[in-house]
Chains A and B, each alone.
Chain A
Amino acid sequence: MQLKQAIEALRPLQGEVIPIRTVQETRPPEEFADAYAAEVNVKAASKVVKALDSAFPRDPALSLGHLRRFSKRENLPAPLKAAIEEDRSFSKTPAQTIFVLISPPVPDLDQVQAVLAPFAPASSPSARNTPSDASSPELTTPKINLIPTKVPIQPPFNITQAENWSNNLWPVVFNAAAPRATIAPPPQVLNRAQEHISTQAGYYLSLARKVAEEAEQSGHGRGVGAVIVDPAIETHIDAISWGADWNPRDRWMEAVVAVGGDARYGRGEAGAPSQKDLHPGLVPNPASTTYDADLEGGPDLHALMRATELVARRRREDAVHEAAMESLTPPAIVATDPQLSTQLSPLESYFLYDADTPSAHPPPEPSSPKKRKHEEPNPEIRATQVEISDDTDPQSISSAPLPAPPPSTTALADPIIAARTNAPEWPSDPFSDSTIPPSSRIRTRAQGGYLCTDLDVYMSHEPCLCCSMGILLSRFRAVIFPRSGRMKSGGLASEPVGPTTDEESAHNESVVATDTEDERLYYGLHWRKELNWRALGFEFVEEADGVDGHEGVAFHA
């Protein structure tokens, strides 16, 4: 069976795509600031607001729309009510007064007194013209009763939090849409992407596992795979399938722009043989039975990093980009292939070079599917003519004629030459000095291709922190991994897998940052409001999925 047919025969994972909540959703931030409630005449309420706003302009950086401006005494939080009961200076006729919030940053209290003095409660014991005070000059200005409290400076994330604050601090308003703007993706964006991704995620994740299997069975790395998909091509396939008698799902693989497998055992350091070379034919690589940092290669050899580099490498081959780069001072170091991007596995090579854009060919006939052709013979593609199927002999893959490893110890004497000629020391690279096939699925810079903008990446495992941030820096639109591939060292999950976490239980467990069962930290790196770049994050929960995470040796995926 040919590689192409093996890919077509992949069975999709069955399950459901679920958004990974942000850490602000799973652990709503609770930050508080000092504030005061001031008792004023209820009839002067609107004047009070004007007076306060003109005397103490609001800090635009603080968005305090969730805090009510006023509260009747009966609606005050219980602790404030209790304090007022004990203090005799407050009005004896609560119906004629109302409490206004002096919100943070709290101004000088003497100034507050001065601004609010005209609006003192008429019946206040300390109010103007009280006979007993008439003789006392400092009381010609009435005293406003102030009672200290704390207020949340962020809007409540859920009803429970809102009620809790209203009952204990100060009445707050809960607006289901408002808080999401800063701490979670806009619901419509998230829902649309979830719907889109759900249709074919099972296939891409199945392919990611295939890539992972290939990486492991070749001895090159651990069993981790990444699949990069262009949603625009998916949409295109969908569009051209209208009216045609084929199912767009049958062509899911045409939206794959690159795949990358883990290669942490493939790089020789300081001229020494790599872990793969040390254990020829032994699969999985013996180094994978433990976590020994010295044998782990490095995160630049992880599946995500390699897949990303393959996209970049393809974009670099664009002549326009090459010409533009020539005018720049070349970087000092380009004489390395740290991510082994020229040592392609059969699957990597297939998707990078042996595939074309779906529009380039008519849809395949159901009875006799056309074979794709490539214009130039490609030595890497020859390596793809091995069988990959469920019963593949691992040896046949590991012995596949992969291109010779680059002389990793050889630094080019002249980095300028290295940059200009795009690293001529890779004899195995078929496109190093030639034009790229016009049918690449990876858009060139001229076609609007920029880093991995607008692409989705499907991973066999939860990526490590380094790769998770690499996803953001590469500007992926979304990242998807199966929940069964959760990693202790992962960077994306934001909460332990547990019984359905409704809003209430999530709030009550808001301080829990680690899973007591299997300690790890939950970074939810895909969407952090603190970071400049964000991606949508999804977990794929398989049907009859008994495992909630990777079992076996802990490592960085």
Chain B
Amino acid sequence: MDPPSAECELVPSTVAEDSRHSYFMKQALLMGEKALQSGETPVGCVLVHNDRIVGSGMNDTNRSMNGTRHAEFLAIAELLQTYPRSTLQSTDLYVTVEPCVMCASALKQYRIRSVYYGCANDRFGGTGGVLSLHSDVSLDPPYPVYGGLYQKEAIMLLRRFYIQENEKAPNPRPKKNRELNTRFEDEEVLPPIS
């Protein structure tokens, strides 16, 4: 895991003490669990405004047949049912996996206050994984990103998903002989996230 920058790193011991962050990330993980049960890539998130969850989302690309229906978009859609868009400027996102390039840009356009994520996303990450859209110059101001919160739990969700076969894919790859890897090395290699 490679945090975007030193200032964005969450020190694990601090995290353990911070029950508030823990609570919300656990809620995001529950959404990820729900995604897994639904046959979706297990990524979940919650939007938190004034210590309250005002939106939650999980990956929904297989059901919707729309490759852009990521957890963040669903959570924002839920928020907008009850709150105006401007609420996002004082709202934080807790998401199990680093937002992808698409979501990182969307969160910036929506002016999220800050983003907390579990594990990094080396294949698609837009907040340090591949690109750093959260801090790049754009029409909208940058936002801070904090990674590494319940990282192992987020990775385990993904591993449990990726040992399954993807029956939705045009050419499913047989994965009968795969075993769930429960070990963690210092240098974690993440499975692809789409």
Is A18's beta carbon under 8 Å from chain B?
A: no
Chain B residue with Cβ nearest A554 = B139
For the complex, what is the distance from the CA of A470 to the CA of B133, rounded to whole Å?
15
Indicate the member of A409, A467, A469 with the most B CB atoms within 10 Å.
Answer: A469
Stretch at the interface among A365-373, A389-397, A528-536: A528-536
The 3 closest A-B pairs by CB, nearest first: A469-B102, A312-B66, A338-B77
Chain B residue with Cβ nearest A304 = B68
Asked if residues B102 and A466 are in contact (CB atoms below 8 Å), the reply is yes
Chain A residues closer than 8 Å to B138, beta-carbon distance: 465, 489, 521
Stretch at the interface among B3-11, B54-62, B147-155: B54-62
Asked if residues B140 and A293 are in contact (CB atoms below 8 Å), the reply is yes
Chain A residues closer than 8 Å to B40, beta-carbon distance: 331
For the complex, what is the distance from the CA of A449 to the CA of B84, rounded to whole Å?
36
**Given known A332-B31, A333-B57, contact A338–B137 (CB-CB < 8 A):** no
Q: Scoring A residues 509 to 533 as 1 if CB is less than 8 Å from chain B, else 0, what string do you get?
A: 0000000000101010100101111
Chain B residues closer than 8 Å to A332, beta-carbon distance: 31, 34, 56, 58
Chain A residues closer than 8 Å to B2, beta-carbon distance: none
Of residues 48 through 107 on chain B, the ones whose CB sits less than 8 Å from some CB of chain A are 56-58, 60-61, 63-70, 73-74, 76-78, 80-86, 100-103, 105-106
Chain A residue with Cβ nearest B37 = A329
Is A128's beta carbon under 8 Å from chain B?
A: no
The bracket for how many chain A residues form the interface is 35 or more
Chain B residues closer than 8 Å to A533, beta-carbon distance: 194
Main secondary structure of the interface of A (DSSP, over half): loop
B74 partner, pick from A325, A329, A333, A467, beta carbons under 8 A: A333
Q: Scoring B residues 158 to 180 as 1 if CB is less than 8 Å from chain A, else 0, what string do you get?
A: 00000000001110000000000
Chain A residues closer than 8 Å to B57, beta-carbon distance: 333
* Given A328-B63, A411-B81, 17 extra CB contacts under 8 A: A294-B84, A298-B76, A298-B110, A316-B64, A328-B39, A330-B63, A408-B80, A465-B133, A466-B105, A469-B101, A470-B102, A491-B105, A519-B137, A521-B137, A531-B123, A532-B192, A556-B139
Chain A residues closer than 8 Å to B139, beta-carbon distance: 291, 488-489, 554-556
Chain B residues closer than 8 Å to A465, beta-carbon distance: 101-102, 105, 133, 138
B67 partner, pick from A331, A452, A488, beta carbons under 8 A: A452
For the complex, what is the distance from the CA of A374 to the CA of B136, rounded to whole Å?
49
Asked if residues B111 and A528 are in contact (CB atoms below 8 Å), the reply is no
For the complex, what is the distance from the CA of A465 to the CA of B37, rounded to whole Å?
31
Is B130's beta carbon under 8 Å from chain A?
A: yes
**Size of chain B's interface in residues, with CB distance under 8 A?**
57
Asked if residues B130 and A530 are in contact (CB atoms below 8 Å), the reply is yes
Asked if residues B170 and A450 are in contact (CB atoms below 8 Å), the reply is yes
Stretch at the interface among A98-106, A146-154, A251-259, A264-272: A264-272
**10 pairs, A vs B, C-beta closer than 8 Å:** A300-B68, A316-B64, A338-B77, A448-B170, A466-B105, A473-B61, A473-B100, A491-B105, A528-B130, A532-B194
Of residues 14 through 33 on chain B, the ones whose CB sits less than 8 Å from some CB of chain A are 31
Chain B residue with Cβ nearest A330 = B38
Chain B residues closer than 8 Å to A294, beta-carbon distance: 84-86
Asked if residues A474 and B131 are in contact (CB atoms below 8 Å), the reply is no
Q: How far is the CB of A289 from chain B (nearest CB, A)?
A: 15
Is A336's beta carbon under 8 Å from chain B?
A: yes
A338 partner, pick from B56, B73, B140, beta carbons under 8 A: B73
For the complex, what is the distance from the CA of A452 to the CA of B106, rounded to whole Å?
20
Chain A residues closer than 8 Å to B133, beta-carbon distance: 465
Chain B residue with Cβ nearest A332 = B34
Chain B residues closer than 8 Å to A308, beta-carbon distance: 66-68
For the complex, what is the distance from the CA of A501 to the CA of B63, rounded to whole Å?
45
Chain A residues closer than 8 Å to B131, beta-carbon distance: 523
Chain B residues closer than 8 Å to A525, beta-carbon distance: 101
Q: How far is the CB of B45 from chain A (nearest CB, A)?
A: 12
B66 partner, pick from A309, A419, A469, beta carbons under 8 A: A309
Chain A residues closer than 8 Å to B117, beta-carbon distance: none
For the complex, what is the distance from the CA of A308 to the CA of B111, rounded to whole Å?
24
Is A453's beta carbon under 8 Å from chain B?
A: yes
Chain B residues closer than 8 Å to A293, beta-carbon distance: 85, 109-111, 140
Is B146's beta carbon under 8 Å from chain A?
A: no
Is A475's beta carbon under 8 Å from chain B?
A: yes
Asked if residues B56 and A298 are in contact (CB atoms below 8 Å), the reply is no
Is B128's beta carbon under 8 Å from chain A?
A: no
B38 partner, pick from A305, A331, A474, A488, beta carbons under 8 A: A331
Asked if residues B111 and A300 are in contact (CB atoms below 8 Å), the reply is no
Q: How far is the CB of A557 from chain B (nearest CB, A)?
A: 11
Is A296's beta carbon under 8 Å from chain B?
A: yes
Chain A residues closer than 8 Å to B76, beta-carbon distance: 298, 300, 338
Is B116's beta carbon under 8 Å from chain A?
A: no
**Given known A331-B40, A333-B77, A465-B101, contact A474–B109 (CB-CB < 8 A):** no
Asked if residues A325 and B63 are in contact (CB atoms below 8 Å), the reply is yes
**Given known A333-B74, A466-B105, contact A475–B170 (CB-CB < 8 A):** no
Indicate the member of B37, B38, B80, B100 with the most A CB atoms within 10 Å.
Answer: B80
Asked if residues B170 and A453 are in contact (CB atoms below 8 Å), the reply is yes
Chain A residues closer than 8 Å to B136, beta-carbon distance: 521
